[in-house]
Structure 1
Amino acid sequence: MRSAMTSAELATSEPRVAVAAPASTVVRPAAAGRENSAVDTARPTTDHRGPTGGFRRDIEGMRAVAVALVVAYHAKVPLFGGGYVGVDVFYVISGFVVTTVLLREFANTGSVSILGFYARRARRLLPAAMVVLSATLIASWWWLPLQLQWIATQAVASVAYCVNFLLARNSVDYLDSMRRESPLEHYWSLAVEEQFYLCWPLLLIVLLLWARRRRAAGPMAGGHAGLPVVLGVVGTLAGASFMLGVWLTAHSPGYAYFGSPARAWELLAGALLALGLPTVARIPARLAAGLTWVGLAAVVAAALLFDGATRFPGYAALLPVAGTALVIAAGSVPHTGGAVGLLGRTPLQWTGRLSYSWYLWHWPFLVIGAALLGGTAIPWQNLALVAGALLAAVVTYRLVEDPLRRARVLAVRPWRTIGLAAVASAAAVAVAVSAVLVRPTVAGTGAPVDTAAVLSASTDVERDLRRLVAASVAAPAVPANLTPPLPQVTADIPTVFQDGCVVLKITDTGTDHPCGYGDPTAAHTVVLFGDSHAGSWFPALRELVTARGWRLIVMVKGFCSAASVRFRLDSVNRPYDECVQWRDRALDRIRELRPAMVVTSSTNYTFGDPVGVFTDRDQVWADGWAGTVAELRSHGSQVVFIGDVPWLPPTVVDCLAVHLDDARTCHGAVDDVVLEPRRRQLTADAVAGHGVLVVDPTPWFCTTTVCPALVGNVVTLRDGNHISATYSRLLWRVLDERIGRLGA
């Protein structure tokens, strides 16, 4: 996902078609008794040659531009932080091409065969999509066995073309939004298009039939007003969708990005172009040539200027959509000297032809490849992976996509295509179900180690823990007695996240969630305060307060740092004001409780920059922490500040599953995974100046050079940056040693 988001996030290309020219196009009737399949069998001939139409090499070239931007973005190629706009390019092209096809059929036969339309869509999109989906499921069975349940769920949702709404729903829930990237997430854009295809032909037919009746009724009925009214209706729908997208971008970015209602205007923009071709044809040739360059520059500029912090789609999507529309519109006019010459070059035509298959393959290659490479891939490795995906696309295009699209045995009988589509979809679902029912065995073969026994018997817990960490750096194989077993590690979440005591919804600002643990009549109360990284310390702290006979109150909100800083949350592309409101209310509640101790912690790696003008981002965060602890200390509470944990790759557990015989592949260098070292030091100094006990947990996870993925027989971080509940629980004694008699 683009950020998450998803991070990613792409669009599917549309069929290669011969698009009619705008003016007085001659349409020959289909041969009696068979479907007119000219749109699916058109071959590239020459550049646009006038009113009789021709293969649109500029559109094929724009497909190449779109897929290249998307692939570059996901491969983390520098400068292309806004490469996700390739999805918008594809959508405009799709709306234009599909509407042109429908208009041509209506002009040809007086109606549109809905069955024939869906058969063409299925023949064009389904074969390659189901092949890649099934292959990805099989590859995931081998290399991402711990994600099979989630990947299979996405596979079924992809077959049903509703995976976009699954991802939109997950984006507003903290635990779901923190899932690892799935190799099938990119099917969301295909779902958006299919939902559009389901509705648009029916609406267009109704509008066209209405317009024809108006023309037949004669001037007295306003017959010549039919087309303007059709354009008005479609334009109104596009405008409503656009405004919905703008509103959702501000209030529910996940639904704005993944939801078809908020994206429909981009496809309708292409549809409006197709409906208005006679008017577009009047553009002067010299102006048309210039407009193609302006449009192409707008698309490229969006890819270079936008990034993860851009509020997208929202108003920003106008730039790539308008740019694509300009290229298509101006390319409909015969001219020389425009961008059509560039877009028509052989490399772009070849890439455009493969764009759909390359789009389908590139994301599984990147996600699964990263797991095989130890959890992350550097840019040159990503480029190698997407090159491999391009090779797979060539094979898929030649053996699956193109032959089935051209198969006359399917084209002449739409029901055959529908039947084949049903069988292919059912087969993909069967693969998904089988992958879940027959899971591979994932167990280490290394010598057993009992981390819990070592620490419970220790008389110097921190010393012995550091020895375990050092031994784990050198140990090759995953221990045979891993606790919990690898398939259960990602679900090893502290109970506080599951019992309603943590604010998980991004938009929730309430403080009625705090829960109490331990002795409710205890003389001493401890408050755990912060974001999900603070919540990860709950098992350790619960053991500690139980041993001391204290009471524990939890005040935790996902993504919400305890530091008094107003910051942007990249995943929602706006200031995270809900965090500010929740934090202020939580501080008020803590003031009322007057606890003996407040234990606070938050991620050191924020999901967006502070709001406002600043010259030193790190200092802003250090000052924010100083403000928070000053407030906590003002009512007499002792404060313990626990620094952030290392950040291993989010696929660290998948890496261990793939490298059972050499866990060292999954370890991280301290310099790479202990993030924001300057901010860490500034923050520690700032809070220590207010009499706060600073606890740096790094030695409990790392040596001076390496942070192992596991310590003894316990995985430390269940998702790369949240402590597993089991490991957190084992750390209670070392945390108790650090706290000493503070607050007693």
Structure 2
Amino acid sequence: MAASGSAQPETARHFRSDVQGLRAVAVLLVLVYHAGVSAVGGGYVGVDVFFVISGFLITSHIVREVQTKGRLDLVAFYSRRARRILPAALTVLAVSAAVAYLVIPPFEREGLLQDATATALYVPNMLFAAQDTDYLTAEAPSIFQHYWSLGVEEQFYLIWPILLVGILALCGRRRWAVWTAVAGLVTASFAGCLALMSVSESWAFFALPTRAWELGVGGLVALAVSQGARIRGPIGGALAWAGLVMVVLAGLTLSDATPFPGVATLLPVLGTALIVFCGAERHSPAWLLNRAPMQFVGSISYSLYLVHWPLVMIPEAALGADGTLPTTAKVALSAAAIPVAYLCFRFVEEPFRRRPAKARVEHRRTVAVSLAASVSIGVVAATSANAVSHMPIHAGDDAPPYRMETDPVGTDFVPANMSPDLRSAPDDNPDIYRDGCVRGDGESDPSGCQVGDEDAPTVALFGDSHAAHWQPALKPIADDGDIELDINAKSSCESVTTLDDPRGSDSCVEWREGVIDRLNDDPPEVILLANYAVHATEETDEDRGDYWRDSLEQTVEALPEESEVVVMAGTPTMPAVPASCLSQHVEDAERCAANRETTLEEGLDAPTRQAEKAVAREDEHVQRLDLTRYFCNDESCPAVIDDKLVYRDSHHLTRTFSASLEPVLRERLEPVIEGVKQA
């Protein structure tokens, strides 16, 4: 959203009450979506509505000033933007950071302050893109994640005035040339967005170049309006109504599973453009958008957007491992955001926005003070993040070295000698991520990565990130020359799934089928299938067990008959991210264990696990390898065993713990390989 909520027209003469009401529609869509109301699964499109509005308003202002004064005063322009955007944004940022720091688990404080640093410096969207954040499905979203759109708009405001003034100067009075040039930029940005979607959805979602077309569409509408273009009467009113229907329809029909941004983004963007272009007509939805409640919400929409997310996320983050807020609580907090937003609007946003700044020296002072405030907050946050990174998070005592055994008893405290330590846990990934061996978004190369003696029996590891987390246990066996390890892993793409799965992305299907074809061309002795069954079955309308069984049978049938197929049982899904939980309970690590009967999300008798057992019983070429007894006992699955941290997140093993299971994995694979040789 960002400045669109506050970047209101300069004078009453140019005020568009219908646009003000449209802001209300946009922010309410976002609020309801973030509250977890499933009926509004596409409420995130409210941000796209704001982008179009911002592009329209800013372009209108620039064109109007150039037409009336012959030039654009950039210092005054940036001064006005700073006074309207930054006071509320920086106030909410500082207050949110301070409150969140006090209540969130210690493990998360460094990340909180890093996010605050990027936000203060106007680049949170770039940070989230670099972190490969999935805005629509993030498990533990940043408290400042909503600032990504503010980053996009701030970056747009830095570039667009200079670019547009240049276009106006080059094209002169040729209005068609100006419109064509801007349309070309919009088209290029949209094409880039579609192209990048197949490579990195995160960068496509967060980066300015791939979202600028939405603001550019608003700019095109502004150029058309400034040139006197208008569709009046009943036709114009009907088009405006159609636009509103498009926006609402996008909010109701899109979901977290919709590839976004992409072609689906056209629905809310073009709908908004129609409303802005035609919405002032008598037959348009202006009568609805002009109602007092809509005008009130529209007037505070910027502050409301800023405060609603931390009001929901900080209490949820404070719960840590103890759970998440129910939807009713999120709805209540979202409603409470309205009076809080009004206070922010009345006492922070409005005083700065209304303060006149006519002298050029005052404009310069405003820009300088704004930059100084942003940099100061950024420096404080960055310095604090560095200090936090050196604070220990453990109980102070050591634990004995890890002893691999079944039914392990968990360590009841966080050891000072734990490996990896809590801060290192998220990055304790298999080396194959760093080496580029795990295929990412949009990648479909089925060639795999081979390690070990080419003359040794080949073991093909095939699956998603759960296949990848077994690589540290398998690599030493390959390094010893006992096997050639053929690694075929792609994040969030299962090897066990219906091959024409409509939920799978094109790159997943292409990669999976390519790997199966390659394995059939040169059959390995053993194929290890390892997948996250929870992810693979969570969206199916069928019975989870039946779906997984059918998918597994179909995949096994597609694999070479000469190969022995071994299905690796999935690792348990913990009730919370262990590192976060353990940082809250360094003296009571048992609080972070998963109870076998009640707290395991999938349980150890999940339908998918039973399906795997059934397939192994009925197909003589399929075996099942279950190492659960090495990280769970009869009562629980501990987060810490001796001096080892078991999980790097809620369901992936740490590289360190996976490597420690090498002896048992070697022991279990030897008879399988020997059996294939003898056959």
Query: Into which bin does the TM-score normalised by the smaller protein fall?
Result: 0.7 to 0.9
Distance 2:414 2:295 in 1: 49
Matches within 5 A, 1:545-556: 550-551=482-483, 553-556=485-488
Does residue 7 of structure 2 align to residue 13 of structure 1? no
SS in 2 for 1:313: coil
Report the 3-state secondary structure (helix = DSSP H, G, I; strand = E; otherwise coil) of the residue aligned with 2:461: strand
Aligned residue identity for 1:347: P
Is it true that 1:271 corresponds to 2:219 in the alignment? yes
Which shifted more, 492-501 or 116-125? 492-501
Partner of 1:439, secondary structure, is helix
* Structure 2 residue 279 is the aligned partner of structure 1 residue 331: yes
Is 1:727 paired with 2:657? yes
Q: Does 1:654 align with 2:586?
A: no
Native 8 Å contact 2:572 2:600 kept in 1? no
Deviation of 1:69 after TM superposition, in Å, equals 1.5
What's the counterpart of residue 625 of structure 1?
A: 552
| 2:551 corresponds to 1:634 | no
Q: 1:740 to 1:507 in 2, by over 3 A?
A: closer
Q: Distance in 1 between matches of 2:366 and 2:611?
A: 64
1:136-193 C-alpha deviation (Å, 9 max, x unpaired): 44455442543555555544444444443444455499xxx99953333333322222
Where do 1:137-216 residues align within 5 Å? 137-139=97-99, 141-142=101-102, 143=104, 145-147=106-108, 150-171=111-132, 181-209=141-169, 214=173
Structure 2 distance, partners of 1:672, 1:347, is 43
Q: What TM-score, normalized by structure 1, do the two folds share?
A: 0.78
Q: 1:246 aligns with which of 182, 194, 201?
A: 194
Whole-Å separation in 1 of the counterparts to 2:305 and 2:643? 40
How far apart in 1 are the matches of 2:581 and 2:297? 33
The one-letter code sitting in structure 1 at the alignment partner of 2:614 is D
- Are the structure 2 counterparts of residues 705 and 58 from structure 1 closer, same or farther at C-alpha, using a change threshold of 3 Å? farther
1:415 corresponding residue in structure 2 = 364
1:645 pairs with 2:571: yes
Match in the other structure for 1:443: 393
Task: Tell me, in whole angstroms, the C-alpha distance in 1 between the residues paired with 2:481 and 2:447.
Answer: 25
The 5-angstrom pairing of residues 21-100 of structure 1 reads: 38-39=10-11, 53=13, 55-100=15-60
**Paired residue secondary structure (1:87):** helix
Q: Match of 2:488, SS?
A: strand
Which string of whole-angstrom CA distances, capped at 9 and with x for unpartnered residues, describes residues 473-497 of structure 1?
Answer: xx5x645654432222222223343
Q: 1:372 aligns with which of 303, 308, 318?
A: 318
Corresponding residue of 1:46: none
Tell me if structure 2 keeps the 8 A contact 1:92–1:269.
yes
SS of structure 2 residue aligned to 1:493: coil
Instruction: Compute the displacement of 1:230 (Å).
Output: 2.3
Q: Distance in 2 between matches of 1:569 and 1:608?
A: 13
How big is each residue's C-alpha offset from its partner over 1:654-693, in whole Å with a ceiling of 9 and x where there is no partner?
2332344555665554453449933333233224422322
Q: 1:116 to 1:634 in 2, by over 3 A?
A: same
Query: 1:95-119 CA deviation, whole Å, 9 max, x = no partner?
Result: 1111222233234323221111111
| Matching residue of 1:587 | 519
> Which residue of 250, 260, 266 corresponds with 2:208?
260
- Cα deviation for residue 194 of structure 1 reads 2.4
1: distance between equivalents of 2:514 and 2:7? Answer: 52
> For 1:613-637, what per-residue CA distance to the aligned partner results, in whole angstroms no more than 9, with x for missing partners?
x9777655434433444566622x4
Letter in 2 for 1:654: S
Question: Is the CA contact 1:134–1:431 (under 8 Å) kept in the aligned structure 2?
Answer: no
Q: Aligned equivalents of 2:646 and 2:263: distance in 1?
A: 42
Structure 2 SS opposite 1:640? strand
Which amino acid is the alignment partner of residue 657 of structure 1? S
The aligned counterpart of 1:294 is: 242
Match for residue 677 of structure 2? none
Q: Do the aligned partners of 1:504 and 1:557 also contact (CA within 8 Å) in 2?
A: no
CA distance in 1, matches of 2:44, 2:381: 28
Unaligned stretches of 5+ in structure 1?
Answer: 1-9, 19-37, 43-52, 215-225, 456-460
State whether residues 121 and 378 of structure 2, in contact with CA within 8 Å, keep that contact through their aligned partners in structure 1.
Answer: no
Q: Is the 8 A contact 2:200 2:442 kept in 1?
A: no
For 1:562 and 1:677, the matched residues in 2 are separated by: 19
Q: Distance in 1 between matches of 2:39 and 2:312?
A: 19
- Equivalent residue in structure 2 for 1:117, among 71, 74, 77: 77
Q: CA deviation at 1:377?
A: 3.4
Inter-partner Cα distance in structure 2 for 1:740 and 1:346: 75
- In the alignment, the residues of structure 1 paired with residue 673 and residue 449 of structure 2 have an alpha-carbon distance, to the nearest angstrom, of 25
SS of the aligned residue for 1:230 comes to helix
How many percent of aligned residue pairs carry the same amino acid?
A: 35
- Are residue 681 (structure 1) and residue 617 (structure 2) matched? no
TM-superposed CA distance for 1:84, in Å, is 1.5
| Structure 2 residue 648 is the aligned partner of structure 1 residue 718 | yes
Moved more, 311-320 or 622-631: 622-631
Aligned mate of 2:380, from 431, 448, 451: 431
The residue number in structure 2 matching 1:532 is 465
State the secondary structure of the residue aligned to 2:601.
helix
Structure 2 residue aligned with 1:562: 495
Q: In 1, distance between residues paired with 2:223 and 2:73?
A: 19
* Offset of residue 414 of structure 1: 0.9
In structure 2, the CA distance between the partners of 1:499 and 1:92, relative to structure 1 (3 Å rule), is closer
Q: Which moved more, 1:419-428 or 1:154-163?
A: 154-163
Shift of 1:521: 8.9
Note the aligned Cα RMSD (angstroms): 3.9
C-alpha distance in 2 between matches for 1:444 and 1:388: 37
Q: Which amino acid aligns with 2:483?
A: R
Give the deviation of 1:639 after TM superposition: 3.6
Looking at structure 1, the residues matched to 80 and 23 of structure 2 have their Cα atoms a distance apart, in angstroms, of: 19
1:569, 1:576 within 8 Å by CA — same for their partners in 2? no
